[in-house]
Amino acid sequence: MWLSILVRNLLKGPSTEPFPFAEATTPSKYRGRVEFDASRCSGCQTCQYVCAAGAIHFDETAEGMRFTLWHNSCVFCGMCEQNCMSHAIHLSNDWHLAHPQEQKYQLVEQGTVPYQACRECGQRMLPAPLPLMQKAFRGDSPQIQALRQLCPICRQSVSAGGKR
């Protein structure tokens, strides 16, 4: 009995994943390493508030809002991606996060959302992200680029047809 099972398994081949000798398959909806796109971020910090593990932090610097995500604290729940209105956070299929203990503080995803001056009043502000503006105006229009360069107060005033 056991001999026939042994012969059958030898002829059939292994039934496990070929990793590390070949690339392993990754499920399509796998939640792996977090990727951050600063050009899409609005700086609303919702991701920081919904992060159950406390892995996401925003710091205000002279250049702008700095996003920091510690992969050694992240539990890959996907709440940050789900609650990001501007789609600046994406959980990739990259699951290659094994590392030696001394490198645990190097597994960090960082990005800076730069400040710019409002075109009307000169106040320092974070630019409105293009995806949110396209959603608000239902498409792409030349007006979007002009409005992105205004602070929220000036944007409201210009949109209402008045001058600040």
What's the structural domain count of the chain? Answer: 2
Both 146 and 88 in a single domain?
A: no
- So what's the pLDDT on residue 104? 73
- Confirm whether 141 is domain-assigned: yes
33-43: buried (b, 16+ CB within 10 Å) or exposed (e) per residue? bbebbbebbbb
Both 64 and 140 in a single domain?
A: no
Per-residue pLDDT of the chain (164 residues; tens, 9 = 90+): 778 888 887 888 767 777 777 777 777 777 888 899 998 888 889 999 999 999 999 999 989 999 999 988 889 899 999 999 888 999 888 877 776 777 777 788 899 999 888 888 888 888 777 777 777 776 667 777 778 888 888 888 887 776 54
- So what's the pLDDT on residue 140? 66
CATH number, domain of 70, equals 3.30.70.3270
- Confirm whether 121 is domain-assigned: yes
- Confirm whether 3 is domain-assigned: no
pTM for this predicted structure: 0.72
Both 95 and 137 in a single domain?
A: no
Both 153 and 76 in a single domain?
A: no
Q: How many CA atoms lie within 13 A of 50 on its CB side?
A: 15
- Confirm whether 5 is domain-assigned: no
